[in-house]
Amino acid sequence: MLKYQKIASEIEMKITKLNLSQGSKLPNTKTLSQEYNVGRNTIIKALELLESRGLIYQVQGSGTFVRQKSRKGYITLLANHGYTENLSYFDLKSKVISFNMINAPKNVAANLRCTMKDKVYKVERVHFVHDQILCLEETYYKVSTIPFLNNEIVGGAIYKYIEDILNIEVGYSDKYLIVKKVDDHTSEYLQLPKDSPMLLIEEIYYTKNGDPFNFSKNYYHYEHSQFFLQS
């Protein structure tokens, strides 16, 4: 984690801890740079990061202000750290349905920019929030980037393992949202009747170096999931 990212997360924790409301003014950059004992450029970069994440807004000439917290119970679409981490403030449980190593199916190979001879780990999990079915996750990890996974790891926080143990820096992601009706497979796991609505979110995650290493298809239970986005 770079210095400005560390400062940003400290400022974020402070906003949460003090429960600062919409429009609360933060100290100016000079004061913050003294408080955190870093240069003003570091503070400016930290504030830009917080702004891009929708936590604050800056008004030229008048300062930096806290943004209202989003409605409760919505899942953020901008997070980049896998299921368990993004939903850590929900009561999340997961159940592994299947876990194996296979040759990359055609659309997986296309999204991970590899060949159909390349190996991928395939993991299927069902996630629950407050014991309600949240989604069915079908996810593929490129073995050339993620050389090892086991049952214990896929039963927990896969991204924590990738970032903390494999030391892979997650760079960015593409997400595609498509509303459709459940098919037989998703109907079974989401326990929804035929023709029910469903949100499919396809996600491709890249390392800092631009290598697509993870492709996921997440099928959300429409009655148990809502999403938000601040930009």
Contacts for 177 with CB less than 8 Å, ≥ 6 apart: 199, 200, 201
Tokens 């760079």 found at: 171
Checking 177-181 for CB contacts under 8 A at 24+ apart, the result is: 177/201, 178/202
From residue 84, alpha-carbon distances to 28, 95, 144, 223 in Å are 35, 12, 23, 20
Q: How far is the CB of 20 from its own copies (least distance, A)?
A: 14
Candidate residues 22, 28, 103, 191; the one interacting with its own copies per rule CB under 8 A: 22
Query: Which of 57, 90, 99, 128 touches its own copies (CB under 8 A)?
Result: 57
What mask of x and - would describe binding to its own copies in positions 163 to 182, judged by CB under 8 A?
A: --------xxxxxxxxxxx-
Nearest distance from C-beta of residue 156 to its own copies, angstroms: 24
- Are 99 and 121 contacting, i.e. CB atoms less than 8 angstroms apart? yes
| C-alpha span between 65 and 15 (Å, rounded) | 11
Radius of gyration of the chain (CA): 20
CB of 160 to its own copies, least distance (A): 19
Residue 134 contacts residue 223 (beta carbons within 8 Å)? no
Report if residue 183 touches its own copies, rule: CB under 8 A: no
| Cβ 72 to its own copies shortest distance, Å | 11
Q: Which is nearer to its own copies, 213 or 220 (CB)?
A: 220
Stretch that binds its own copies, among 12-20, 26-34, 78-86, 139-147 (CB under 8 A): 78-86
State the DSSP string of 35-60: HTTS-HHHHHHHHHHHHHTTSEEEET
| Choice from 67, 125, 127, 142 touching its own copies (CB under 8 A) | 67
* Residues 135 and 217 sit within 8 Å (Cβ to Cβ): no
Query: Does residue 3 bind its own copies (CB under 8 A)?
Result: no
Q: Is 227 in the site for its own copies (CB under 8 A)?
A: yes
| Pairwise CA distance, residues 157 & 83, whole Å | 7
Q: Verify binding: residue 61, its own copies, rule CB under 8 A.
A: no
Residue linked to tokens 């400005």:
4
Stretch that binds its own copies, among 8-16, 68-76, 126-134, 142-150 (CB under 8 A): 68-76
Give me the least distance between CB of 155 and its own copies, in Å please: 27
Which residues of this chain interact with its own copies, rule CB under 8 A? 22-23, 48, 52, 54, 57, 59-60, 65, 67-68, 70-71, 74, 77-80, 171-181, 195-199, 206, 208-210, 220, 222, 225-231
